Amino acid sequence: MTSQADLVALDQSDPLAPKREEFSIPEGLIYLDGNSLGALPKAVAQHLERVVEEQWGRDLITSWNKHGWIDLSARVGGKIARLIGADPDEVIAADSTSINLFKVLLAALKLRPERRVIVSDIDNFPTDLYIAQGVNQLLGQSHELRLVKKEQVEAALDEHTAVLMLTEVDYRSGWRYDMAALTRLAQAKGALVIWDLAHSAGAFPVRLNACNADFAVGCGYKYLNGGPGAPAFLFVARRHQGAALPFLTGWMGHRAPFDFDPYYAPAEGVHRMKVGTPPVLSLSALDKALDVFADVDMNEVRRKSLRLTDLFIERMEPLCRRYGFELITPLEHERRGSQVAYAHPEGYAIMQALIASGVIGDFRAPNILRFGFTPLYVRYRDVAEAVERLEQVMSQELWKAERFRERAKVT
Amino acid sequence: MTSQADLVALDQSDPLAPKREEFSIPEGLIYLDGNSLGALPKAVAQHLERVVEEQWGRDLITSWNKHGWIDLSARVGGKIARLIGADPDEVIAADSTSINLFKVLLAALKLRPERRVIVSDIDNFPTDLYIAQGVNQLLGQSHELRLVKKEQVEAALDEHTAVLMLTEVDYRSGWRYDMAALTRLAQAKGALVIWDLAHSAGAFPVRLNACNADFAVGCGYKYLNGGPGAPAFLFVARRHQGAALPFLTGWMGHRAPFDFDPYYAPAEGVHRMKVGTPPVLSLSALDKALDVFADVDMNEVRRKSLRLTDLFIERMEPLCRRYGFELITPLEHERRGSQVAYAHPEGYAIMQALIASGVIGDFRAPNILRFGFTPLYVRYRDVAEAVERLEQVMSQELWKAERFRERAKVT
């Protein structure tokens, strides 16, 4: 068992400890929900003020050139590329994860016109599945959407598979796929692979090109700390950039947007995946937020993430025995993202009571308490303190209060 | 000819004059490009600071409920509805104009499955045409995209027309369609009509429901002053809301996003047209920017807009004769938006020189100088002063300087 002295020592010797100072974390709050909305990097507030006052307010339309708004999608994409094992010219930041998935899924299906099956995980984040359903409806239900449990994914792949579409880390359990192995297996069957990195980018080193990934998408507002609803990102492996077409063909993806040609011609490379004018304020926040990672070794992030999640699991063991929490996150490091989740029939009310006690995690239907560990700002002592507060919530039956049972719009 | 004394009197008696104080306009600058990027409403800067520090920074994930982020798309849509003659539950703010057009164009085509022609204006803003081309490619080139000149639109409509898709005000010439008449004509042939209000919303009163429009989209960053790349909006007439489906089916458009059901079921009404998580920072800027309109009579805006553009045209007459500017904006009020444009073979260099002299308009290929008049912050005396500076640019041949001839990325 890790002692109090061990915790202090762990925090003191943590090479990432100084990073916490770069974030604005409310006093006394233990924030274990960076996998839903990353905390505010302090530099973002100041940067955004300048973008509003100086770029928009003072330089107005000239900022498209003067402050490089026109290249912002690509510049932000380049910063993300380093974190996900891609080259800068393979990534753009734009739109939402859902819309980016729509673009790359359509592009991928058109690269495998003779194949009619999309394989995915039935427990994939719903928007990914909805997008696949919408795409299939659009194509006249020409495809089969084969949704299976994680352990059946390999068996579901065959010579009819056009696309394997997976989120690397399960948003509920924190279960992590073996990206290299699954990519290899799917490609051996002739399929293309799309990875959703919503719970991967910024959480641990991702190696898209080392795994030979075809396409990827991901989220700007979780571990990348880009702010609420931050623009998402999109990756197209260089080998597909000539043939992959977006179908969502907007002027920002045109070869020469300011020629105002009435006929569409795709821009070079990944740039054709841009559609409309990007939300510059939100994109600028993400741009600045990514600078927090500039001097960060992602291997160090992973080491600390595993120590934090190991520690949480260890501390939670007595509560599991005493109160019936059931760990649903893999113990095996290779199969784990940067979160830990427990099932409990009273999960909703327990999480509400825990939040009221100053520990923010979240609830995922039907019965899951989810705790995200962001190594850049979560301390070892936060982990111990979070479990202590949960112990109080349980031992004092705080969660039984009426006010914790009423469902809010967003849970 | 309007005298200097007339100008002073016009500004003094202008009921919209106090509105200028609500905007941050750089000292000495004459900004005639609000049709490209609206100026910064002062209240937005302060509001955004609070959204960043208090909502994101302090309240973190709880802001989805506490600060109503979850309803922001609909709330902002409701504010826009008043400006475009729609009901609040017919409009949402989301994504970009291009993506919104993609959604409503697909929805409209699926409502007319037996018809195979999309009619539009060959001079429509290119992204609208690109989106239609992408949609058609996606549908296996099943449709004909019939692109015609403005005067041929009526003749192009027939019993094969599925959708008539027009931008109400031409982005180059400022030519304005008769929305009521065109909608009636197209519907008489059995077609559906999509209006792009990019240069209409916030510029003059739009009457979508009075004109019986079917669908509409529009831009948040021009006359609505929502900031660079602000989220766009989308209108679905209530009579179509039951049958119109988005195809871009993301979790925010699901009936119950937080049930995390793996199968898509559309939300009620226009809400199903939401896709992914919206960019809350950019959307909050637009939200606050719209409050500038709260006490504004849009008929007053239109009156002033016509006076400003009339005055500009009057003052430009001698320059047309002397330097060869050719007015391409209609003199007829009913056919005019809130901008005035001139063709000139040296348009690019002339506009660069004019910008250097402190009057910002913009250039549109191949040869058009475009001037936007935003009645909320442009004064009558600005109009006179702008023409005087242009006269200087021409008489002193300032535009011949080498530095004004090099094309910037965005022009």
Residues B205 and B117 in one domain: yes
pLDDT value for B343: 98
Residue A2 vs residue A212, higher pLDDT: A212
Helix, strand, or coil here: B266?
strand
pLDDT value for A138: 94
Q: How confident is the model at residue A153 (pLDDT cuts 50, 70, 90)?
A: very high
Of B45, B135, B228, the CB nearest to A53: B45
Residues A254 and A241 in one domain: yes
Residues A79 and A170 in one domain: yes
pLDDT value for B409: 76
The answer as to whether B288 is a domain residue is yes
B275 contacts in chain A (CB < 8 Å): 96, 98-99
Q: How confident is the model at residue A328 (pLDDT cuts 50, 70, 90)?
A: very high
Q: Is A373 a catalytic residue?
A: no
pLDDT value for A407: 82
The answer as to whether A406 is a domain residue is no
Residue A16: closest CA among A290, A294, A304? A304
Residue B146: closest CA among B157, B135, B159, B131? B157
Here the tokens at position B304 are 């002033």
pLDDT value for B3: 87
The answer as to whether B190 is a domain residue is yes
Residues A280 and A353 in one domain: no
pLDDT value for A410: 79
Residues A268 and A129 in one domain: yes
Residues A217 and A71 in one domain: yes
Domain endpoint, select from B258, B273, B293? B293
Residues A204 and A345 in one domain: no
pLDDT value for A202: 98
Neighbours of A69 (CB within 10 A): 26
Q: Is A196 a catalytic residue?
A: yes
The answer as to whether A344 is a domain residue is yes
Residues B274 and B393 in one domain: no
Residue A107: closest CA among A274, A255, A247? A247
Asked if the model's pLDDT at residue B411 lies above 90, the reply is no
Residue B95: closest CA among B227, B246, B278, B252? B278
Q: How confident is the model at residue A408 (pLDDT cuts 50, 70, 90)?
A: confident
Residues A13 and A160 in one domain: no
pLDDT value for B408: 81
Q: Is B121 a catalytic residue?
A: no
- What average pLDDT does chain A have? 97
E-state strands within B66-188: 91-93, 117-121, 144-148, 161-167
Asked if the model's pLDDT at residue A271 lies above 90, the reply is yes
The answer as to whether B41 is a domain residue is no
Give A65→chain B minimum CA distance, Å. 6
The answer as to whether B380 is a domain residue is yes
Asked if the model's pLDDT at residue A95 lies above 90, the reply is yes
- The pLDDT tens digits for B9-67 are 999 999 999 999 999 999 999 999 999 999 999 999 999 999 999 999 999 999 999 99
Asked if the model's pLDDT at residue B128 lies above 90, the reply is yes
Asked if B399 contacts B346 with a C-beta cutoff of 8 angstroms, the reply is yes
| CATH number of the domain residue A127 falls in | 3.40.640.10
B221 contacts in chain A (CB < 8 Å): 277
Q: How confident is the model at residue B336 (pLDDT cuts 50, 70, 90)?
A: very high
Residues A21 and A120 in one domain: no
The answer as to whether B88 is a domain residue is yes
Residues A56 and A147 in one domain: yes
Domain endpoint, select from A273, A293, A313? A293
B37 contacts in chain A (CB < 8 Å): 56, 60-61
Here the tokens at position A237 are 């492996």
Of B40, B64, B126, the CB nearest to A251: B126
| CATH number of the domain residue A390 falls in | 3.90.1150.10
| C-alpha to C-alpha distance for A253 and A268, rounded to whole angstroms | 9
HSE-up (13 A, CA, CB side) for residue A226: 35
- The pLDDT tens digits for A186-239 are 999 999 999 999 999 999 999 999 999 999 999 999 999 999 999 999 999 999
Domain endpoint, select from A293, A308, A336? A293
Here the tokens at position B317 are 């007459």
Interchain proximity B355–A49, CB inside 8 Å: no
Question: How many percent of chain B have pLDDT more than 90?
Answer: 97
- Give me the phi and psi of B402, to 5 degrees please: -55, -40
Helix, strand, or coil here: B301?
helix
Number of folded domains that form chain B: 2
Helix, strand, or coil here: B270?
helix
Scanning B51-125, the segments in alpha helix (DSSP H) are: 63-66, 72-84, 97-111
Q: Which residue out of B370, B371, B377, B382 is catalytically annotated?
A: B370
Residue type, B141: Q
Q: Is B97 annotated as a binding residue?
A: yes
Residues B311 and B281 in one domain: no
The answer as to whether A77 is a domain residue is yes
Give A327→chain B minimum CA distance, Å. 20
- Average pLDDT, stretch B121-136? 98
Question: How many percent of chain B have pLDDT more than 70?
Answer: 100
DSSP state of B171: T
What's the domain range around A301? Answer: 4-31+297-400
